Structure 1
Amino acid sequence: MDLGGARGPAVTATWLDLPPGTGFGPANLPYGVFATAGTAPRTGIAIGDRVLDLAAATGDPVHATGSLNAFLARGPAAWRDLRAAVTDWLTDEAHRARVEPALVPRDAVTLHLPVAVADYVDFYSSRHHAENLGRILRPGTEPLAPNWCHLPVGYHGRAGTVRVSGTPVVRPSGQRRDAGGAGPTVGPTRRLDMEAEVGFVVGVPSELGTPVPLGAFADHVFGVCLVDDWSARDLQAWEYVPLGPFLGKSFLTSVSPWVVPLAALEAARVPAPAREVPLLPYLDDGRDPWGLDLTLEVRLNGELVSCPPAAQLYWTPAQQLAHLTVNGAALRTGDLYASGTVSGPRRDQLGSFMELSEGGAVPLRLADGTTRTFLEDGDEVTVGATAPGTDGGRISLGEVTGRVVPAR
């Protein structure tokens, strides 16, 4: 289908019959990869309770590759043009006869990993989370390391174990040191945790040796997804000195199937929290801040246990990208980096069970009378999020879900 005739910004009016209160209206238009019975994975855009099949609607083979990578590599001009065109198709009745056959019911599709992940980096950008873990893991000392307010702390994860929402969480095994034990043992983790995070998907690569400045954030990053960084806290505690997370993190990272374009989040942009130390120039984003006012929701077996506020993240995604590349590290199409656990100052805003249970010392009581310190086999965790939309409503980032199954 011809991309010409696009009208520009998203509006709420549409010829589709959208479900009441949908977070997937024309102001959102997130991208994913889907398949229907007997068909190959291809690119789609969520609209209401349906998916627009872009391979069918456009005839462009880039949308039939089974991954967003090739389209994302085309860059911001292509992203803008297609978003404007799709908005036009869905809001102008004149396009209905051509577009309607390419709409597929969402309950008839299987969603796949939206991007082929090139590299995965996880940051540690919530001050509330970092201070909470500092107090739990290093009682009696300063909760923040001296560098924390000067740079976005992070670690390089394992891209090969990033999986789409719904992938089972196999309880990992590894070395751990039990309290009072003479030495380490090996076996399944006893302190399996989740972390509610926000992920950022890179579309346009950068040249090796050339840093990406703050102002070029939107030239490289296409959009936002949700991340659950599953964590084996006992494995992590034993192994992380001196080089940081390894087997306690690398067994699985789950991502939501829909990637919301930055263009849909313009109304969600906010400044980062106030700084108490001056930032070095390459991290000073005072003139063009990229904090995001996202409200996350964490559910355990369907029960809402926390609502972490992403607007309070100390480090923004633009600052994270600038720091990630300041040494000249090259970006690749499909790179994924995450915010780190999102936590707020209140107990009902904590983004991990490590915090909710105060390191296992104070069990979290659930509505059915049971308690949790860490996750048990059979538990299902779901992280969802919404944000202000450009049309004055709220848009959805979808959900990332995982159910814990026993160690193998």
Structure 2
Amino acid sequence: MTKLLKSWVESANSPDTPFPLNNLPYGVFSVDEDEPRCGVAIGDMILDVAYLEEEGVIALDDEPALDLPFWNEVMELGPKKWAELRARLTDLLKEGGDHVLSSDADMRAQALVPMADTTLHLPFIVSEYTDFYAGKNHAMNVGTMFRGPENALPPNWLHIPIGYNGRASSVVVSGTDVRRPWGQLKGPNDDAPRFEPCKRFDIELEMGAIVGTPSEGPITVQEADDAIFGYVLLNDWSARDIQAWEYQPLGPFQAKATATTISPWIVTKAALEPFRTSTPDREKPLLPYLQEPGPMLYDIDLEVSLAPEGKSETTITRTNYSVMYYSAAQQLAHHTTSGCPMNAGDLLGSGTISGPEKHERGALLELSWGGKEPIALETGEERSFIEDGDTLTLKGAAKGDGYQIGFGDCVGTLLPAHKDPYKR
């Protein structure tokens, strides 16, 4: 296992920081009324790489690539430039590296910004969004609830990563409030649907893979892995009662269109390299185009906490990304089989990440078993689904030898539904 890389930025050497020199995740930040710009997290600071590019300390291309409020321009430069940027950042920030920044107090004061003084923004322009259903434990749990254990998995599930095209327009950054949606609801004993606020609002604990290299036709799993720029935590908020009425026969629609929250930092694939692990043994052989040439998943500890309004939080889930049945590379490779073009900035949701045990389930739907088994909070309250004012926080980190690779929290608070939007 790779050990901690020492930085002259002291806060980056703590075993508790999610942002050591080994990480160097990419985000977009602003200070006060300044324009948002590209930055890199290091300890409790943000390195203003747009400023360093302007000063000639970082040079990626003939044209500026970092003076923008998104990382898409860097993505489009390709893997060779990604590696060059990471190497340059490491050299600038490591002990004994290039002293241009560490030895110049004025430049250092301009380039390093306390993270606590900043506002974080969506780190990239989301071109398209695709959500998958690739966690076997989650699929088994949900299928068992609605179809019984003997029919829990549809016949295609063990052969292909099932997915659907979602809404890029509703992807938001951590810290953005989410409003309880209205929709058509119909219970099993109702004669007709009604239009009301969602009663069974939920989260889905996922990882999001960001496509960095565009493609025009089918690509292999290895090519897909090479094309991934990095990863974020992802909460695919879900209106379960809206979904129950609308999803036959084409799947979720408005139930998944309210919001999808992502963490503010893009953790690069290079930072996660020491944590690669293999997907589980296959119950049925995959077709050759989906077979992986090597480990394509990552050992990333994940957890979810719930805090009622004004009260302390309770950790309701702990699991690990490595339980997924399909990797992001397999999902991306399958996405291209029809010739579907992929663009820099495309976002792929992993699907809900649930482990085999009850405390490892990645959605309240599973944790409360459809509302029949409410979970207890440390405040003395119970939850079957999310109530107004609740704040949900997703956390994730890959644990190394004396360091961790973190993503920054993925946070959202549920606001009450607006009054009936059709009563003017």
Q: TM-score, normalised by structure 2?
A: 0.91
Tell me, yes or no, if the aligned pair for 1:123 and 1:339 is still in contact at 8 Å.
yes
Whole-angstrom CA distance in 2 between matches of 1:394 and 1:378: 31
The equivalent residue for 1:252 is: 259
Tell me, yes or no, if the aligned pair for 1:199 and 1:339 is still in contact at 8 Å.
yes
Whole-angstrom CA distance in 1 between matches of 2:213 and 2:317: 34
Amino acid at match of 2:387: E
- How much identity, in percent, do the aligned residues show? 44
After superposition, the Cα gap between the structure-2 partners of 1:238 and 1:221, relative to the gap in structure 1 and judged at 3 Å, is same
Could you tell me how far 1:219 is from its partner in structure 2? Answer: 2.8
Q: Which runs of 5+ in 2 are unaligned?
A: 308-312, 419-424
The equivalent residue for 1:44 is: 39
Deviating more after overlay: 167-176 vs 56-65: 56-65
Whole-angstrom CA distance in 2 between matches of 1:56 and 1:14: 20
Whole-angstrom CA distance in 1 between matches of 2:274 and 2:3: 12
Amino acid at match of 1:340: G
Which of 126, 147, 150 pairs up with 2:135? 126
Whole-angstrom CA distance in 2 between matches of 1:383 and 1:352: 11
Whole-angstrom CA distance in 1 between matches of 2:323 and 2:294: 17
Segments of 4+ moved more than 3 angstroms: none
Question: Secondary structure in 2 aligned to 1:368?
Answer: coil
Whole-angstrom CA distance in 2 between matches of 1:69 and 1:183: 46
Deviating more after overlay: 220-229 vs 59-68: 59-68
Could you tell me how far 1:14 is from its partner in structure 2? Answer: 1.2
Please list, as runs of the form range in 1=range in 2, the aligned pairs for 1:242-321 lying within 5 A after superposition: 242-285=249-292, 287-301=293-307, 302-321=313-332
Whole-angstrom CA distance in 2 between matches of 1:139 and 1:175: 26
Whole-angstrom CA distance in 2 between matches of 1:305 and 1:92: 40
Could you tell me how far 1:385 is from its partner in structure 2? Answer: 0.3
Tell me, yes or no, if the aligned pair for 1:299 and 1:383 is still in contact at 8 Å.
yes
The equivalent residue for 1:240 is: 247
Residue 97 in structure 1 maps to residue 97 in structure 2? no
Amino acid at match of 1:151: I
The equivalent residue for 1:231 is: 238
Superposed CA deviations along residues 298-347 of structure 1, whole A, max 9, x for unmatched, are: 00012111112110100011100110111110111110001010000111
Whole-angstrom CA distance in 2 between matches of 1:11 and 1:397: 17
Question: Secondary structure in 2 aligned to 1:18?
Answer: helix
The equivalent residue for 2:413 is: 403
Could you tell me how far 1:392 is from its partner in structure 2? Answer: 5.8
Tell me, yes or no, if the aligned pair for 1:229 and 1:249 is still in contact at 8 Å.
yes
Whole-angstrom CA distance in 1 between matches of 2:149 and 2:29: 50
The equivalent residue for 2:17 is: 22
After superposition, the Cα gap between the structure-2 partners of 1:131 and 1:248, relative to the gap in structure 1 and judged at 3 Å, is same
Amino acid at match of 2:175: G
Which of 320, 331, 336 pairs up with 1:325? 336
Whole-angstrom CA distance in 1 between matches of 2:402 and 2:379: 37
Superposed CA deviations along residues 127-154 of structure 1, whole A, max 9, x for unmatched, are: 0000000011223641000100000011
After superposition, the Cα gap between the structure-2 partners of 1:334 and 1:140, relative to the gap in structure 1 and judged at 3 Å, is closer
Residue 12 in structure 1 maps to residue 22 in structure 2? no
The equivalent residue for 2:204 is: 195
Amino acid at match of 1:150: H
Which of 156, 163, 173 pairs up with 2:165? 156
Tell me, yes or no, if the aligned pair for 2:120 and 2:264 is still in contact at 8 Å.
yes
Question: Secondary structure in 2 aligned to 1:288?
Answer: coil
How many residues matched? 396
Could you tell me how far 1:97 is from its partner in structure 2? Answer: 2.7
Whole-angstrom CA distance in 1 between matches of 2:412 and 2:77: 32
Question: Secondary structure in 2 aligned to 1:222?
Answer: strand
The equivalent residue for 1:68 is: 71
CA RMSD of aligned residues (A): 1.5
Which of 51, 55, 59 pairs up with 1:56? 51
Could you tell me how far 1:220 is from its partner in structure 2? Answer: 1.4
Tell me, yes or no, if the aligned pair for 1:10 and 1:87 is still in contact at 8 Å.
no
Whole-angstrom CA distance in 1 between matches of 2:394 and 2:246: 27
Q: TM-score, normalised by structure 1?
A: 0.94
Whole-angstrom CA distance in 1 between matches of 2:350 and 2:239: 19
Q: Which runs of 5+ in 1 are unaligned?
A: 1-8
